[in-house]
């Protein structure tokens, strides 16, 4: 296709949405002329399904739940006045609480003002808040944000070291929809311990965002925490950024959450429309379908040319992969669906892997995100009449062309800026595109049946550890191999995990010692006295 | 395969490397019994090629260059005494400079000490330093690190705002092997402007790491910068972390770079050995070959269960994808090789996309990285006898099992800690695995012919912009459509890029105005007076 034909194709297929300041260019996807027509039927069924979902149907049949994240930005659309009411009440409570914290009405135990925010959560309770904090944050914000998003003790130590003596000015938000997420529970306990070490009462610095009457909710209520805000079973974790999960930290950091909600609401209006050519969410879903043949055969590479959007691909990894990565379709057939998502930012990633994208295995399609506004304030020329921002756009256009020359497909989303409104727009755009795509491939986008197995297996490992400790303590001072211990606790089949758990304990527990043997797997383990046991390390030179 | 057979397979295939504290478990890769034997021949040729490379053959034939990153940690192995000498001299110079900066012998223009580091670089000049800074850094380091790794004006503004009034205590390192990377040049100019605005002489705060007599080298020499350190044409950007590119910022942040080098050197010794079962780099390469059929059919998902290793996958994206993503093999045949890499950290990513990994499209293999040491200091129980670190390992083992149950392949690398030594080990392990894999699939891992096209196309866009500005200025006050302007500058075929450039200028240049038209593509653009033009924005509500 020559440049003039491409210009025609560009103009024909550019989806310009003036009301939300967004456009989507699909001209560099190699779909044929008949594709959109051919998909009109399936897409019409996807619109129908979405309409039912928005009306409050049980769109998540496995869990028998409604799917209500679209109501969060248009509470009047909720199917039940009680839902409308609780959304509005919660938003008002967030605003009120934000004002109280910023104004000093809600204050820490031993300081005048809360200056920091420690958000403890994982998955849907962290990825959205992290994305938004990085996209909209700056050093002038009223509160600095920190995150515990894992069960890594050293990772938490490092965050606490960064907060340092400011812990007394730090408000901790513990977020868990189920209220029973182990990583989050562990983070909460580690944080509580750190407050206590400074002579501070954790409860007077803690807020819970969780389902009503969950384990966490009861803990917070009984402990008289500063505040509790609700999560609802009709909002999934990965679509909870516009619920209290995301809005509370955003409001506390001083972001205009009403603008975020307005961006999402306006985008919902645009992406609800049934005219495919003017609906960027429908077009996105159809392009994913085209690229991967409806089987996820191509990875989705997300390349925003803007530092502030670097975490968007991480956010989308969850939204897209957890929603679409499913074994069964809605009819119970094994389909092993999904689309892998990766990417960081341009032009940086050009220097990392555009070599492979252009020349290597053609197993992907790129989504460029172009941000029109370069910076606040006046531009600085780096050559005559050329700015850093001109180069940034030049690299985007250059890479788009270089990929196209080699038959690599790409789309380009253009947004005016990285503002609260735009963040709302991007979130809403992808939420709906995921919903449409799920309909096209006939899967439930709103459950996650595959995550339980790993958690359950992890629980079994923790249980195994308890039995091993009990056994070794019962024979204090006597050493055993992993094989012997596994047999002794009646878990001969679990010898591999027994061995792994013992190796880990030997490095970290003040109580467990390992002594070598002739062969690696015959190492011996024993329980000893914990008192006055030296702090452990690996003894390696250069250890930090 | 039952648990006892798995335990046997685990023991049979676990590659334990006591000298470097690393083990590699490949028991959950489904290679057949005959696979390793069958690959002995190709692997033997890979060892031969590596031997030649280490002796100084022209291992990068397209660019007619030696490939010498292994000499950086064993200079005595370099094929030329001049190379041995320059490696040693450069390392000594880095140590000397580190001491001078920390001791105040080298000091800023208007302050006592340098306290911050601003590293300006992209790709191979940023990913290594960022990975290492995040892996080894903490609040007690003698210098805090910041990065410009893009041509994003707002991104740089934000970093500068974070540095704030400490800019006068900030040492800037500008790193570019070629000395002509535009993003880095732009970052340097933006930084210089920021210093100047504070009345500071940039040169007195600037260090260059670049090829001898490059554009940057001459600029730094003529400008009398604080110091210049060399890059060599026999070290590729993506393998330059253990050259001045990585060692200088690491040393300034107070990391034990001799331990990093020792870890890499010891790992080289282990991974040079020709016995496959005891060589983790050979095993890694063979597992990649097995998983993707030697055609990159499966993505490499990197899951370190440790916050400090979160950036390792970003680092590997470049090392693996830029090295292996090649159109042609060494015989000139079109092969479109490569392996896509993504991942962040566990257990966090379990909550993002293990749903898809376990149930969805089976187009990947996982590499778990297990870190034995949980934290400095004493453990905190989160349940009776259970710590956050026990949970972390439990999640790793649980996910490994949950994936295996569903026929998803994984490997596990175990390291003792995240220390300077271990960082050297991980870098060296993957550098050599990439080299071996490249031999197995018969490609040049050390060039990147595919990255020029995008840069060239970007340059053409910048040139187009210059012509457009000249044309509009010549007819100041008269407006034109993109079509008209493209024709007027003799670039009718470039009308699409003309349109994109004009849209970007209209938002950002104080000089260019856009006025709407009946149809989107007939918008009119004109040059006006730049004086007293208001600061631009998109006028959107909620704009930041």
DSSP, residue by residue, A188-230: HHHHHHHHHHTT--GGGGEEEEEETT-HHHHHHHHTT-SEEEE
CA-to-CA distance for A73 and A50, rounded, in angstroms? 16
Q: What is the ipTM of this complex?
A: 0.96
Contact flag B360-A393 (C-beta cutoff 8 Å): no
What is the dihedral angle through the alpha carbons of B447, B450, B455, B461, rounded to the nearest 10 degrees? 170
**Residue B492 distance to chain A (closest CA, Å):** 8
Residue B277 is predicted with a pLDDT of: 96
Residues of chain B neighbouring A450 (CB-CB closer than 8 A): 354-356, 358-360, 402
Residue B537 has pLDDT above 50, yes or no: no
- What is the edge-to-edge ordering of all strands in the sheet holding A227-231? A144-148, A116-120, A170-176, A206-211, A227-231
Contact flag A455-B398 (C-beta cutoff 8 Å): yes
- Residue range B259-284, pLDDT digits in tens: 999 999 999 999 999 999 999 999 99
**Residue A425 distance to chain B (closest CA, Å):** 12
Partner residue facing A259 (CB), from B136, B259, B541: B541
CA-to-CA distance for A184 and A228, rounded, in angstroms? 16
Is residue B407 within 8 Å of residue B197, measured between CB atoms? no
Residues of chain B neighbouring A364 (CB-CB closer than 8 A): 340
Closest CA relative to residue B260, chosen from B115, B122, B132: B132
**Residue A110 distance to chain B (closest CA, Å):** 24
DSSP, residue by residue, A272-309: H-S-GGG-HHHHHHHHHHHHHTTTT-SEEEEEESSGGG
Residue B121 has pLDDT above 90, yes or no: yes
Strand pairing report for B524-527 and B299-304: unpaired
Q: Which residue of A has its CA nearest to B457?
A: A398
Residue A539 is predicted with a pLDDT of: 37
Contact flag A395-B458 (C-beta cutoff 8 Å): yes
Q: Which two tokens stand for residue A414?
A: 């253009």
Partner residue facing B397 (CB), from A325, A386, A461: A461
Residue B376, phi-psi category: left (phi > 0), alpha (psi -120 to 50), beta (remainder)? beta
SS3 of residue A171 by DSSP: strand
- What is the edge-to-edge ordering of all strands in the sheet holding B512-515? B480-481, B524-527, B512-515
Residue A274 is predicted with a pLDDT of: 97
Query: Cα separations (Å) of B197 from A375, B168, B192?
Result: 17, 11, 9
Partner residue facing A322 (CB), from B324, B355, B385: B355
Mean pLDDT of chain B: 95
Closest CA relative to residue B359, chosen from A335, A391, A5, A16: A335
Contact flag B377-A421 (C-beta cutoff 8 Å): no
**Residue B327 distance to chain A (closest CA, Å):** 5
- Mean pLDDT, rounded, for B477-493: 96
Partner residue facing A392 (CB), from B152, B376, B455: B152
Catalytic residue among A351, A406, A476, A536: A351
**Residue A80 distance to chain B (closest CA, Å):** 30
Contact flag A322-B149 (C-beta cutoff 8 Å): no
Residues in a beta bridge with A412: A25, A368
Residue A543 is predicted with a pLDDT of: 36
- Per-residue pLDDT band for B539 (boundaries 50, 70, 90) equals very low
Apex CA B328: angle with CA B324 and CA B334, to 5°? 120
Residues of chain B neighbouring A3 (CB-CB closer than 8 A): 493-496
Residue B220 has pLDDT above 70, yes or no: yes
CA-to-CA distance for B340 and B352, rounded, in angstroms? 18
Closest CA relative to residue B311, chosen from A352, A318, A191: A352
Q: Which residue of A has its CA nearest to B420?
A: A542
Residue B531 is predicted with a pLDDT of: 53
Residues of chain B neighbouring A377 (CB-CB closer than 8 A): 157, 535
Residues of chain A neighbouring B353 (CB-CB closer than 8 A): 317-318, 321-322, 325, 341
CA-to-CA distance for A382 and B50, rounded, in angstroms? 43
Burial of B82 (0-12, 13-18, 19+ CB in 10 A): exposed
Omega into B314 within 30° of 0, i.e. cis? no
A322 in catalytic set: yes
CA-to-CA distance for B134 and B128, rounded, in angstroms? 10
Phi, psi of A236 (to 5 degrees): -75, 155
Kindly state the percentage of chain B with pLDDT values over 90.
Answer: 95
Residue B544 has pLDDT above 80, yes or no: no
Q: Which residue of B has its CA nearest to A342?
A: B342
- Mean pLDDT, rounded, for B437-448: 98
Contact flag B140-A161 (C-beta cutoff 8 Å): yes
Residue A517 is predicted with a pLDDT of: 78
Residue A441 is predicted with a pLDDT of: 98
Residue B426 has pLDDT above 90, yes or no: yes
**Residue A399 distance to chain B (closest CA, Å):** 5
Query: Cα separations (Å) of A194 from A191, A201, B382, B402?
Result: 5, 10, 13, 34
Q: Which two tokens stand for residue A247?
A: 């809005």
Q: Which residue of A has its CA nearest to B497?
A: A397
Catalytic residue among B455, B476, B504, B536: B455
Q: Which residue of B has its CA nearest to A311?
A: B344
Q: Which residue of A has its CA nearest to B395?
A: A458
SS (H, E, C) B392-458: HHHHHHHHHHHHHHCCCCEEEEEECCCCHHHHHHHHHHHHHHHHHHHHHCCCCCCCCHHHHHHHHHH
B455 in catalytic set: yes
Catalytic residue among B85, B110, B224, B351: B351
DSSP, residue by residue, A495-517: HHHHHHHHHHHHHH-TTEEEE--
**Residue A94 distance to chain B (closest CA, Å):** 18
Q: Would you give the DSSP letter of residue A60?
A: B
Q: Which residue of B has its CA nearest to A473?
A: B385
SS3 of residue B297 by DSSP: coil
For chain A, 544 residues long, the average pLDDT of each consecutive 10-residue run is 92 96 98 96 98 96 95 98 98 98 98 98 98 97 98 98 97 96 98 98 98 97 98 97 98 98 98 97 98 98 98 98 98 98 97 97 98 94 96 98 97 98 98 98 97 94 97 95 97 97 96 88 91 44 35
Pairs of residues, one from chain A and one from chain B, whose beta carbons lie less than 8 Å apart = 572
- Best of A14, A127, A154, A267 to disrupt the B interface (most B CBs within 10 Å) is A154
CA-to-CA distance for A335 and A329, rounded, in angstroms? 6
Q: Which residue of B has its CA nearest to A21?
A: B540
Residues of chain A neighbouring B239 (CB-CB closer than 8 A): none
Residue B365 has pLDDT above 60, yes or no: yes
Contact flag B388-A156 (C-beta cutoff 8 Å): yes
Contact flag A536-B317 (C-beta cutoff 8 Å): no
Partner residue facing B325 (CB), from A2, A353, A503: A353
Contact flag A372-B503 (C-beta cutoff 8 Å): yes
Q: Which two tokens stand for residue A343?
A: 């990417």
Partner residue facing B151 (CB), from A392, A451, A504: A392
Partner residue facing B344 (CB), from A151, A314, A507: A314
Contact flag B497-A397 (C-beta cutoff 8 Å): yes
Catalytic residue among A54, A322, A370, A511: A322
Catalytic residue among B54, B190, B322, B409: B322
Residue A531 is predicted with a pLDDT of: 53
A351 in catalytic set: yes
Contact flag B537-A347 (C-beta cutoff 8 Å): no
């Amino acid at each position: 296709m020559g440049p003039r034909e491409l210009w025609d194709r560009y103009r024909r297929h550019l989806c310009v949405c003036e009301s939300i300041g967004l456009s989507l260019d699909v001209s560099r996807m190699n779909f044929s002329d008949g594709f959109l027509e051919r998909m009109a039927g399936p897409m019409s069924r996807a619109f129908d399904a979405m309409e039912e979902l928005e009306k409050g149907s049980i769109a998540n049949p496995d869990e028998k739940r409604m799917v209500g994240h679209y109501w969060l930005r248009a509470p009047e659309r909720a199917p039940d006045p009680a839902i409308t009411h609780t959304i509005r009440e919660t938003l008002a409570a967030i605003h009120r609480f934000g004002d109280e914290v910023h104004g000093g009405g809600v204050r820490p135990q031993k300081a005048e003002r809360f200056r920091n925010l420690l958000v403890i959560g994982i998955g849907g309770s962290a990825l959205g808040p992290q994305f938004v904090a990085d996209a909209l944050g700056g050093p002038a914000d009223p509160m600095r944000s920190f995150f515990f998003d894992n069960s890594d003790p050293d990772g938490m130590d490092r965050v606490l070291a960064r907060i340092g003596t400011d812990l007394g000015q730090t408000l901790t938000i513990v977020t868990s929809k189920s209220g029973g997420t182990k990583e989050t529970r562990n983070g909460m306990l580690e944080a509580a311990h750190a407050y206590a070490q400074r002579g501070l009462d954790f409860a007077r610095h803690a807020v819970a965002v969780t389902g009503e009457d969950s384990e966490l909710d009861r803990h917070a209520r009984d402990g008289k925490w500063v505040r509790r805000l609700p999560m609802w079973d009709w909002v999934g974790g990965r679509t909870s950024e516009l619920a209290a999960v995301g809005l509370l930290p955003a409001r506390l950091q001083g972001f205009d959450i009403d603008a975020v909600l307005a961006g999402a609401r306006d985008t919902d209006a645009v992406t609800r429309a049934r005219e495919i050519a003017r609906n960027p969410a429908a077009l996105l879903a159809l392009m994913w379908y085209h690229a991967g043949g409806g089987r996820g055969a191509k990875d989705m590479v997300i390349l925003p040319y803007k530092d502030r959007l670097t975490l968007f691909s991480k956010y989308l990894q969850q939204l897209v992969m957890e929603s679409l990565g499913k074994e069964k379709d809605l009819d119970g057939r094994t389909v092993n669906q999904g689309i892998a998502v990766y990417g960081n930012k341009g032009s940086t990633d050009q220097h990392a892997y555009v070599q492979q994208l252009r020349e290597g295995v053609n197993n992907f399609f790129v989504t460029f995100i172009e941000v029109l506004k370069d910076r606040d304030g006046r531009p600085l020329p780096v050559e005559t009449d050329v700015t850093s921002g001109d180069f940034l756009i030049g690299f985007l256009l250059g890479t788009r062309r270089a990929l196209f020359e080699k038959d690599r497909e790409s789309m380009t989303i253009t947004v005016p800026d990285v503002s609260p409104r735009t963040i709302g727009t991007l979130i809403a755009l992808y939420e709906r595109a995921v919903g449409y795509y799920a309909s096209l491939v006939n899967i439930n986008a709103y459950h996650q049946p595959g995550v339980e197995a790993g958690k359950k297996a992890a629980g079994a490992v923790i249980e195994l550890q308890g039995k091993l400790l009990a056994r070794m303590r019962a024979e204090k001072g006597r050493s055993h191999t992993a094989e012997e211990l596994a047999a002794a606790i009646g878990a001969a089949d679990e010898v591999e995990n027994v061995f792994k758990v013992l190796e880990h304990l030997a490095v970290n527990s003040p109580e467990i010692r390992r002594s070598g043997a002739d062969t690696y797997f015959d190492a011996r383990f024993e329980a000893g006295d914990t008192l006055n046991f030296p702090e452990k390390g690996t003894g390696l030179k250069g250890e930090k």
